[in-house]
Amino acid sequence: MRGYVIVMAVLLPAWATAGTVYYSITDLGALAGGTMTSASAISTNGLAAGSGDANSTISQPFLRSGSGILPVSPVSSPLAFGTGVNSAGSVVGYEFSVDFSTFRAFLNDASAKYLPLLAGGTNNAATGINDLGTVVGYSATGSASEMAFVYSGGVARQLGTLPGGTTSRANAVDNYGNIVGCSDTGSDAALHAFLHSGGIWTDLGVRSGYQWSEATAVSSNQVAGTLNDPFGGTTAFLWTAASGMTALGALVPGGNSQAFGVNAAGDVVGSSDGAAFLFHDAQMIDLATRVLSSRGWQLSEAVAINNLGQIAGTGTHNGQAHAFLLSPTALHRSRPRQRKSER
Amino acid sequence: MKYTRRQVFQRLAAAAAASATSRGAYPATIYSMPGLYPGRVIGVKHADSSIAGTYQTLPIQTMMQRGMMELTGAPNHGMAWSKLFSRNDVVGIKVNPNGISSIVSSKAAIDGITQGLLLAGVAPGNIVICDRNRVQLNGIASLLPKWVRQAAASWDWSDDQTEIAGYNPNHEPGVSGYNPRYYVDCPGYLLPWQSPSNPSHTRSYVANFVTQVTKIISLSVLKDHQTAGVTLGLKNLCQGCMNNVNRAHPATNTNYLQWYVPTVVSQPIIRNKVVLSIIDGIHGLWNAGPHGLQDFVWDHHTMYFGTDVVAADRIAWKAIDAQRLLAGLPSEESSGADPYDAWTIRQPQHITQAGLMGLGKFRDEDIGYRLVTLA
């Protein structure tokens, strides 16, 4: 038991075992010549990626590391979006051709390159990358407008669909190679959230009262996503193999929510009726109430959270849409428990 | 009190509208008609937006960006779109590709909308270009990004528009039909051969593409219409999203559009999903609509933006009337048949009626219209 406690203490960040967590906020600013940025992803070591306008570009991917926010070159386009980043600083996304007729997945790991299309397709988009360099996304094929793909070792291969399905989209991959997204099925026309793990497809289903579901994030078999009802309403969910799908509710009664990120502790981030939320300890928290100094900020969405508890998101700061990074602070932490040996 | 024949007819038609019922709930949101900015209409004029009848990409891009920024008060283009759309949305763009090529909008305008949605975080696969008829969508294929999804309810126009699966005699692909769960039942408006006891005749069903998106943008064109008077945002949403609509103007001397259009658009699944209306008035058509003749197309060089579809329609209606008066024609409301238009009654009052039904602002004193001139 003692060994177990020590292992847990090593694996979990200090804030996770403490009381109420507060965050310091970092404005990721704008690219040179631009005014706005939005975040899409955060890596295990706190690198953030997203997109923003810049000199002579409508939208350009960015990477935020310790040295600040830097533009990431797509292959050739003035309209490109960064969607994923790993701990090595490799950024993936998609970019539109100059004539706006096609879009292509790109990977920038020191140099920018297009990812191969699936056979018969003319468009593809990358949506996530893990620390091993595995990229996921979706591509058109000769018969499907969207088909999930996984790219590794220079090869893109079709991931497939849930049984009976014809179309799928992969949204995220974790460091264990678990892939999540959505797929149609043979049983109905609606999209179902899926987990693809170890070559096995798991249909995460659609809860009663909802029409379709989509998984958007995965971390160590914790899956987050969104349930969509027939009336445009949305509810964030957390899925685990042990508990199945749990609807997370909303910040206001009867409101809507969407989940965009999850970490290994099962903390989920997203947006609820225009406000960024964190779901932690079975409670949905308005992140604006947990920022040490939020003056001038409106936090509209949190899009990713890593195992260090760092959160990337987008809000408005003094009227400008800017990406932000939230870092858990030691302040307001409850008094640490004494170890047995110290008592 | 003695009524004229027209007055009697008008009262009967209004009574029929009052008896209309709808099926299919869809809850209202803060974006639902009249939307985030009731009564606010922005016009953006750029003299170089069309040169010698040819749309000019760069000025139109600028107009699109400025229009959305002025409408929303956002400091830049991307933020403007983010006021109305977010990454979880599936957005239908209801175009109006009916008529000669100079009055079906431009590639630059359509690209401006799709790029704005992408900047707001909407995934490429969650943007859908929609129209009732596949043939008409095919007619503007060169204007649409090749990657964008398209959705149509029927193959083409037909006299009998009552098929739930959508009129599609040769089983062509790309036709998704109508949804039996969502309809408006108007037994008072029927074609001569239709029966008041046949639900498929008395009902107009909503296109499946409407039920499959979370938000709708109307991209209409500044056009005259021989029965509706003008075909702008409301008409685009009504006749372009339902089946069995030709019964609303069953004969050249019989016209129910004043009531039918707002009755249809007030269906919860339409009024609560429509969040933005853009009227492309770079080219306008002041007579012989909706199909048009080039002789009646003028360079208006203006695009209109509003979340309030009714208010935007009202401003655009006045622009068409002004052009008609310049040409020596009567206003739409007082106009009847002429060598190019067969109907004796035109009903641009569908805009007024929509306002009276709470869909938006229709009185000039309630509309805050601002024209921004770029060049």
A119-128 pLDDT tens trace:
999 999 999 9
- Asked if A255 is an interface residue toward chain B (Cβ–Cβ < 8 A), one would say no
- Asked if A260 is an interface residue toward chain B (Cβ–Cβ < 8 A), one would say yes
The domain limits of chain A are 2-334
B329-348 pLDDT tens trace:
999 999 988 899 888 999 99
The pLDDT-based confidence of A7 (bands split at 50, 70, 90) is very low
The pLDDT-based confidence of B277 (bands split at 50, 70, 90) is very high
A171-192 pLDDT tens trace:
999 999 999 999 999 877 789 9
Domain A2-334 has CATH 2.60.420: no
- For A212, nearest residue in chain B (alpha carbons): B212
Looking at the partner chain, which of B77, B82, B88 has a beta carbon nearest the beta carbon of A258? B88
Looking at the partner chain, which of B75, B147, B272 has a beta carbon nearest the beta carbon of A103? B147
A220-278 pLDDT tens trace:
989 999 999 988 889 999 999 999 999 999 999 999 999 999 999 999 999 999 999 99
Which of A237-241, A303-307, B173-177, B363-367 has the least mean pLDDT?
B173-177
Distance CA A62, CA A79 (A): 13
- Are B119 and A58 a contacting pair at CB < 8 A? yes
Supply the range of the domain harboring residue B57: 5-373
The pLDDT-based confidence of B10 (bands split at 50, 70, 90) is low
Mean pLDDT of A291-303: 94
Contacts of A17 by beta carbon, 8 Å cutoff, 6+ apart? A8, A9
For residue A66, pLDDT over 50 is answered with: yes
Mean pLDDT of B16-45: 88
Residues in chain A: 343
User: Residue A168: in which H helix or E strand, if any?
Assistant: strand A168-173
Looking up tokens 């990721």, which residue turns up?
A: A28
B234-267 pLDDT tens trace:
999 999 999 999 999 988 888 999 999 999 999 9
Tell me the three-class secondary structure of chain B, residue by residue.
CCCCHHHHHHHHHHHHHHCCEEECCCCCCCCCCCCCCCCEEEEEECCCCEECCEECHHHHHHHHHHHHHHHHCCCCHHHHHHCCCCCCCCEEEECCCCCCHHHCCCHHHHHHHHHHHHHCCCCHHHEEEEEEEHHHHHHCHHHCCCCCEEEEEECCCCCCCCCCCCCCCCCCCCCCCEEEEEEEECCCCCCCCCCCCCHHHHEEEEEHHHHCCCEEEEEEEEEEECCCEEECHHHHHHHCCECCCHHHCCECCECCHHHHHHHHHCCHHHHCCEEEEEEEEEEEECCCCCCCCHHHEEEEEEEEEECCHHHHHHHHHHHHHHHHHHCCCCCCCCCCCECCECCCCCCCCHHHHHHHCCCCCCCHHHCEEEEEECC
Closest CA to B144 of B181, B189, B78, B93: B93
Mean pLDDT of B273-299: 97
Interface of B with A (CB under 8 A): 25-27, 29, 75-79, 82, 86-88, 111, 114-115, 118-119, 121, 123-125, 145-147, 149, 211, 214, 272-273
For residue B287, pLDDT over 80 is answered with: yes
Residue B181, both tokens: 């769960």
The pLDDT-based confidence of B374 (bands split at 50, 70, 90) is very high
pLDDT value, residue B329: 94
Find residue A324's DSSP bridge partners.
A27, A313
Q: Please say whether the beta carbons of B320 and B279 come within 8 A.
A: no
Looking at the partner chain, which of A226, A234, A321 has a beta carbon nearest the beta carbon of B78? A321
Coil/strand/helix, residue A15 = helix
- Are A36 and B79 a contacting pair at CB < 8 A? yes
Looking up tokens 């709808």, which residue turns up?
A: B22
- Are B118 and A145 a contacting pair at CB < 8 A? no
Residue A125, both tokens: 């988009």
Residue B85 to chain A, least CA–CA distance (Å): 11
The residue type at B155: W
Cα B339 vs. chain centroid, distance in angstroms?
A: 25
| Chain B residues close to A231, C-beta within 8 Å | 25-27
- For B85, nearest residue in chain A (alpha carbons): A274
User: Residue A183: in which H helix or E strand, if any?
Assistant: strand A179-184
pTM comes to 0.90
Looking at the partner chain, which of B114, B119, B145 has a beta carbon nearest the beta carbon of A59? B119
